[in-house]
Amino acid sequence: MKKRVLSGIRATGRLHLGNYLGAIKGMLALQDDPTYETIYMVADLHAVTTPYKVEELRVNRREVIIDYLAAGLDPEKSILFQQADVSEHAELAFYFSSVMTIARMQHLPTFKEKVKQYPDAATMALLNYPILMSADILVYKAGLVPVGIDQEPHLEISREIARKMNQEYGMDFPEPQRFKTPGEYVPSLTGEGKMSKSVEGSFITLVDDLATIKAKLSKAPTDSGKGDIAQATGGVKALLSFVELFQGADRRKAYEAAYKNEGIRYGDLKHDLAEAIYKELQPIQEKRKAFESDPSRVDQIIAEGSKRARVIAAQTVAEVKEKMGLA
């Protein structure tokens, strides 16, 4: 049997370069490797774990599918679907919640951060977030998960759940591992922390045009451009990571050498970098237009994807129910 891969992105807004380099690039690489069966969803259930607007979610859960298709995920090679359309995910999450303690879930760094961000909305859904994510993965018995490094604590939970379900109920769940990409941690354009949808000014989206990319890069903080590279500030460090990701390691080394000698001219660096980023995004944007103008094709892909996903998910849920004494 082919090794299964599962990944998802929350339906909370437009995808950015962090999502693209940390998750989608890995999703694409595994889709094109015939040894894997790839299953990719939009995590719309996860979008309701923090405050949201109904009409925005309705749009976003579809837009993420269009971003996937535009980026090159192919319904002929991968199962593409929306999480809420396969109710087995939520059902399995409930069974899994019986083997995890409240204390374990409360101590997760990701939970603590979100509680800080939304002090009045620390819901049960938020506490259950990693359990639902584990159900997403294990309902397909997937062993490999292309996601950014920030998701590692969640994958640790999925491994714990797999071990517990195997020991207590004799299931055969794999312990999911992260599939890493060179862009597993894309820094914020502000120079502090990671690029994120929820931090204004931190991101470049997949639909940004050249002028927008240039404008966003121009705001990234820099320094005098000269000195000891080891002391380069956040903004400069971030720019150099982007250079490496979009223009290659040699170009980065050349800038690092310039920093120690004649100095870097940030205007030129940002100009060339913007061109390189746009060169990668342009074909994605062209493809997006084609899907936007053919909504029934998108509907058909989504319907077909959830149908295929449900067949696999239903088998796992039936097995779990039987082993837990519920059938």
Footprint on this chain of ligand ADP (rule: CB under 6 A) = 9-10, 12, 18-19, 21-23, 147-148, 150-151, 183-186, 194-198
Contacts with ligand TRP, 32-51, as mask; x by CB under 6 A: -----------x--x-----
C-alpha triplet 245, 249, 254: angle, nearest 5°: 120
Q: Angle 129-138/152-169 helices, nearest 10 degrees?
A: 70
Structure tokens at 291: 């899907």
Tell me how far CA of residue 326 lies from CA of 107, 166, 196, 322, in angstroms: 30, 17, 41, 6
Residue 6 in contact with ligand TRP, rule: CB under 6 A: yes
Rg of the Cα atoms in the chain? 21
Q: According to CB under 6 A, which one of 30, 80, 86, 137 is a site residue for ligand TRP?
A: 137
Number of residues that bind ligand TRP (CB under 6 A): 14
Residue 63 or 165: the one with the smaller Cβ distance to ligand ADP is 63
187 forms beta bridges with 194
CB under 5 to 8 A by kind: which of ligand ADP, ligand TRP, none does 75 bind?
Answer: none
| Amino acid found at 243 | V
Q: How far is the CB of 73 from ligand TRP (least distance, A)?
A: 14
Residue 151 or 316: the one with the smaller Cβ distance to ligand ADP is 151
The per-residue b/e assignment along 74-89, b for 16 or more CB within 10 angstroms, e otherwise, is: ebebbbbbbbbbbebb
Q: Which sign, positive or negative, has the C-alpha torsion 112, 113, 116, 121?
A: negative
Residue 65 in contact with ligand TRP, rule: CB under 6 A: no
CB under 5 to 8 A by kind: which of ligand TRP, ligand ADP, none does 195 bind?
Answer: ligand ADP
CB under 5 to 8 A by kind: which of ligand ADP, ligand TRP, none does 136 bind?
Answer: ligand TRP
CB under 5 to 8 A by kind: which of ligand TRP, ligand ADP, none does 145 bind?
Answer: ligand TRP
Residue 70 or 145: the one with the smaller Cβ distance to ligand TRP is 145
10 Å Cβ neighbour count for 160?
A: 17
Q: How far is the CB of 81 from ligand ADP (least distance, A)?
A: 16
Residue 21 in contact with ligand TRP, rule: CB under 6 A: no
Which residues make Cβ contacts (< 8 Å) with residue 163, sequence separation at least 6? 175
Residue 206 in contact with ligand TRP, rule: CB under 6 A: no
CA distance 160 to 212: 43
Residue 19 or 222: the one with the smaller Cβ distance to ligand TRP is 19
5 forms beta bridges with 38, 144
End-to-end CA distance of the chain: 27
Which residues make Cβ contacts (< 8 Å) with residue 89, sequence separation at least 6? 45, 83, 132, 135, 136, 139, 313
CB under 5 to 8 A by kind: which of ligand ADP, ligand TRP, none does 197 bind?
Answer: ligand ADP
Q: Angle 266-292/210-218 helices, nearest 10 degrees?
A: 140
Span from 131-139, 160-168, 204-212, 284-292 in contact with ligand TRP (CB under 6 A): 131-139
Binding residues vs ligand TRP (CB under 6 A): 6-10, 43, 46, 133, 136-137, 145, 147, 151, 154
